[in-house]
Homo-oligomer: A and B are copies of this chain.
Amino acid sequence: MKQSQLFTKTRREAPKDEISKNAILLTRAGFIHKEMAGVYSYLPLGLRVLKKIENIIREEMNELGAQEIELTALQDKNLWEKTNRWDDKIVDIWFKIADGNLGLGFTHEEPLTRIMAEYISSYRDLPAYVYQFQNKFRNELRAKSGIMRGKEFLMKDLYSFSRTEEEHANFYNKVKVAYEKIFNRAGIGNRTYFATASGGSFGNISHEFQTICDAGEDSIYITNKEKREAKNKELGIENLEEKKSVEVGNIFPLGIRFSEAIGLYFKDENGENKPVVMGSYGIGLGRLMGTVVEVLSDKKGIVWPREISPFSIHLLSLSESAKAFSDEVHKTLEANKIEVLYDDRDLRAGEKFADADLIGIPAQVIIGEKSLASKTLEVKNRASGETREMTLENLINELI
């Protein structure tokens, strides 16, 4: 895509009403627009990142054998009264419609359990795994962390329906592995830890994926042994180091709480009626995107990991004389299905460099007088700043 066509522009100044790094950088780079506190629209570059994250998660969910659906935001009071989660004194983040009988879903255990009760009746119908990408609504008071904590935000929520605790535990562990893959692909695997949390929303032990991040609202305690972590000190592990962290994913064993309340039972091999054992598994996509910005950006701007970058290549054409060659490079890259943001604008080189560093596409291809002479490309790594001279052919081979 030609940058001259992109309707957004970068800006030098931080927005006055933002304090979080992710909101400041994403706004300056034109990825998001704040509608009000905790409510952000996604502009073209931002939506591209969000969709890449969505696709990574979708691939890993499908790999688990989970089936994609889409539930609704509008929620019926009568259903949520069955699980005692309608009352504002019990759940204090509901957005409710003025007439008092409709709410906006902050999670979806209730409606999905009701749906499954229509389809599950026998042990032969189990296990089943169902997920969605759907906007949640939560009336968050402390919405000051940019897209990391929103009042309206896209979430992947997966739910598992199992016959026994053992079957549940088996899938639970598979989800853990899938989540590790997701955080690796999103570029934050090396600083993301699997943590045990006691006293979650459902009263039991739950597990979280926590990414070490100065902007985090949580803390984790990391042991000296790699990959053995715990959120709560009282779990009794020695030599703990405390770090600020962000919860980028969570997995909850729900037991039979929802199946009993809503009536999701199955007949086992002996004809006995049993409640289905459930689990839920969430990842907030904006939270993940915001965390990546928080932990990987530098003083020049954002640094996107390869798999979630809005484009693979930022092509910078530095002069009028470089235009014909740049056009050709752009065309060839796109013909090879490589996603390119092509800065074809009539601006000084310095402005183009500053914009490219702010936007954060991992590879910058710079075409100036030198490239014209040698017919090679200068390829700059956004993260390290290192440059290499390459032929177009070699670049394409590296990318596809």
Contacts and interface: CB of A to CB of B under 8 A. Distances in A.
A102 B111 contact: no
Given A96-B97, A98-B96, A130-B7, A44 B69 contact: yes
Q: How many copies does the complex hold?
A: 2
Given A33-B115, A35-B111, A36-B76, A41 B7 contact: no
9 contacts: A5-B67, A35-B72, A35-B74, A35-B111, A41-B111, A41-B115, A43-B115, A95-B102, A97-B104
A67 B310 CA distance: 13
A33 B135 contact: no
Contact of A44 (B47, B67, B72): B67
A319 interface: no
Contacts of A73: 73, 135, 137, 152
Contact of A69 (B5, B47, B98, B125): B47
A334 interface: no
B74 A151 contact: yes
Contacts of A36: 74, 76
A44 B70 CA distance: 8
A350 interface: no
B96 A40 contact: no
Given A36-B76, A74-B137, A65 B5 contact: yes
Contacts of A98: 95-98, 100
A39 interface: yes
A70 B97 contact: no
A166 interface: no
Interface in A29-74: 30, 33, 35-36, 39-44, 47, 50, 65, 67-74
A19 interface: no
Interface string A95-128: 1111010101000000100011011100001001
Contacts of A8: 119
Nearest to A48: B68
A396 interface: no
Nearest to A105: B35
Contacts of A347: none
A123 to B, nearest CB: 14
Given A68-B47, A98-B97, A125 B41 contact: no
B74 A39 contact: yes
A9 interface: yes
Contacts of A91: none
A6 B67 CA distance: 8
Interface string A67-91: 1111111111000000000000000
Contacts of A102: 95
Given A9-B119, A35-B111, A125-B7, A70 B41 contact: yes
B40 A72 contact: yes
Contacts of A7: 67, 116, 119-120, 125, 128, 130
A171 to B, nearest CB: 14
Contacts of A42: 69-70
A27 to B, nearest CB: 10
Interface in A335-351: none
